[in-house]
């Protein structure tokens, strides 16, 4: 049984090392003016969508429902990375959230790396290509495939780190893809790419390797070097 | 004088903020338009000038009204001025004040019948602006339009993700020692972001066709 203080110590050191490696920062969502604004926008859109839904049903149109979070859910239940800033719910930054941070921060670190690396996206500058394609994923199949690709890389990292820490089984691929469909409104083309990507990553992990994702490889190497006593001993 | 390069650099630097600026500008312009219309209502020519300026911009509200009319055959309900009933003065108030209130609230008695010809007025034409709607619903609709318009504008600029073409969707491959899969759109999609050699492995195809990073000592088709 690993003492909680040791887990908190490793989580703090890991966060500092990850931020230094990627040039990232970690903030608390409820303390960020920008994220409070986004939460307000989610609530406003939900209210507006509800009225438009009412209007549409009056004329016998049943528009598709989008699984958008409420403002409170956005602030308290989700981690969000914008550029190089990783924003976490307040509860996850408390000492009791140390294990959650160690599992979630590598996932978000993958998105920081994806943002910094950029992507070829038509006439858009390479450095904003990641954000533009990510936001467009609800509108076009091409962008949905990009979202499926980047999220599958990030979720494979999550499962790799979780398995390293807990020694437990990985989350089933179908479960992750279903979650992407519901929470990211991922189109079928994107879901197909995510599933194929996860199958490859899981095959690599089944063979004793880590997914070929830079941040994942760096994270496992850091944990092997700085916290070998935690391997397979953490209860998530 | 800003050059094209300067402008391009500015857009490049503010690409993430631009949709936000557009949303803000749209909201401000619509608020200014609503205010100007209200103030200039008694002045037809000034009002026409405002309407002419507004007509140069996309009119989302009118679009919604016309779509509603198209689907239902009825004009969309809109706001109706609220009639204000003056408060009844106290019984101790001066007679003139109470008489004024009575005249405002109680309709005048019918005039005695006279043999006069009253020129009839044609019935009022249907007015699409008459009716009533919840102010909260309108506010919610306005907020949605303020967000939806710039978002829609931003989405029209959605780019393609530039990848090499591949012949068979769903088929894996090893490209430059990195797993890849042919996407449903027929483009070669990388898996991960680095070659297998970064962790001392090699990309191979498993018996079931899945590409992955295997131990270098493993056999397998490359």
Judge if B202 and B139 occupy the same domain: no
Judge if B155 and B177 occupy the same domain: no
Judge if B140 and B199 occupy the same domain: no
Domain, as residue range, for B133 = 1-80+129-159
Closest CA to A216 of A85, A87, A89, A108: A108
Q: Do A132 and B158 touch (CB under 8 A)?
A: yes
pLDDT band at B5 (very low <50, low <70, confident <90, very high): low
Residue B103 within any structural domain of the chain: no
pLDDT at B79: 43
Q: How many helices (H) and strands (E) does chain A have?
A: 10, 3
pLDDT band at B72 (very low <50, low <70, confident <90, very high): confident
Q: Count the alpha carbons within 13 Å of A6 in the hemisphere toward its beta carbon.
A: 11
* A33 and B CB contact within 8 Å: no
Q: Do A133 and B193 touch (CB under 8 A)?
A: no
Q: Which residues in chain A show pLDDT less than 50? A: none
pLDDT at B222: 46
Judge if B75 and B178 occupy the same domain: no
Q: If you measure CA to CA, which chain B residue comes closest to A197?
A: B191
Identify all chain B residues contacting A197, using CB atoms and an 8 Å cutoff: 181, 189, 191
Judge if B5 and B36 occupy the same domain: yes
Judge if B210 and B139 occupy the same domain: no
Asked if residues A35 and A75 have their Cβ atoms less than 8 Å apart, the reply is yes
What's the pLDDT tens digit per position in B92-122? Answer: 777 777 777 777 776 666 555 555 555 666 6
Report the number of distinct structural domains present in chain B.
2
pLDDT at B156: 56
β-strands B178-182, B188-190 pairing: antiparallel
What is the residue extent of each domain of chain A? 4-230
pLDDT at A61: 65
Rounded to 5 degrees, what angle do the CA atoms B12, A149, B195 make? Answer: 95
Residue B58 within any structural domain of the chain: yes
Residue B211 within any structural domain of the chain: yes
pLDDT at B134: 52
Q: Do B161 and A214 touch (CB under 8 A)?
A: no
Model confidence, pTM:
0.65
């Amino acid at each position: 049984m690993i003492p909680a203080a040791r887990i908190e110590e490793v989580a703090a050191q890991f966060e500092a090392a990850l931020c230094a490696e990627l040039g990232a920062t970690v903030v608390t969502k409820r303390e960020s003016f920008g994220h409070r604004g986004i939460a307000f926008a989610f609530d406003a859109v939900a209210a507006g969508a509800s009225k438009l839904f009412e209007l549409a049903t009056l004329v016998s149109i049943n528009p598709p429902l989008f699984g958008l979070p409420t403002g409170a859910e956005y602030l308290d239940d989700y981690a969000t990375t914008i550029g190089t800033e990783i924003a976490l719910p307040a509860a996850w930054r408390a000492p009791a959230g140390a294990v959650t941070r160690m599992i979630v921060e590598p996932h978000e670190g993958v998105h920081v790396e994806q943002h910094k690396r950029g992507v070829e996206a038509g006439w858009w500058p390479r450095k904003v290509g990641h954000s533009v394609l990510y936001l467009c994923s609800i509108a076009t199949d091409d962008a949905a495939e990009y979202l499926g690709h980047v999220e599958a890389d990030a979720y494979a990292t999550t499962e790799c780190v979780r398995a390293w820490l807990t020694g437990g089984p990985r989350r089933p691929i179908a479960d992750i893809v279903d979650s992407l469909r519901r929470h990211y409104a991922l189109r079928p083309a994107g879901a197909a790419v995510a599933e194929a990507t996860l199958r490859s990553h899981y095959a690599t992990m089944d063979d004793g390797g880590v997914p070929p994702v830079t941040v994942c490889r760096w994270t496992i190497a850091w944990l092997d070097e700085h916290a070998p006593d935690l391997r397979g001993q953490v209860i998530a | 004088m800003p050059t094209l390069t300067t402008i391009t650099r500015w857009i490049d630097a503010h690409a993430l903020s631009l949709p936000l600026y557009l949303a803000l500008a749209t909201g401000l312009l619509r608020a200014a338009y609503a205010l100007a219309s209200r103030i200039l209502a008694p002045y037809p020519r000034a009002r026409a000038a405002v309407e002419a300026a507004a007509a140069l911009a996309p009119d989302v509200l009118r679009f919604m009204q016309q779509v509603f009319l198209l689907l239902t055959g009825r004009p969309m309900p809109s706001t109706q001025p609220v009639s204000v009933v003056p408060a009844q003065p106290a019984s101790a108030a001066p007679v003139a004040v109470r008489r004024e209130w009575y005249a405002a609230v109680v309709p005048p008695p019918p005039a005695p019948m006279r043999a006069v010809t009253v020129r009839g007025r044609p019935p009022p034409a249907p007015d699409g602006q008459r009716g009533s709607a919840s102010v909260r619903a309108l506010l919610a609709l306005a907020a949605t339009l303020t967000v939806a318009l710039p978002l829609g504008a931003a989405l029209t600029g959605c780019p393609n993700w530039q990848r090499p073409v591949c012949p068979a969707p769903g088929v894996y491959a090893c490209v430059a020692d990195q797993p890849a899969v042919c996407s449903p759109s027929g483009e070669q999609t990388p898996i991960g972001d680095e070659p297998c050699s970064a962790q001392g492995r090699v990309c191979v195809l498993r018996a079931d066709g899945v590409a992955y990073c295997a131990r270098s000592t493993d056999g397998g088709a490359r």
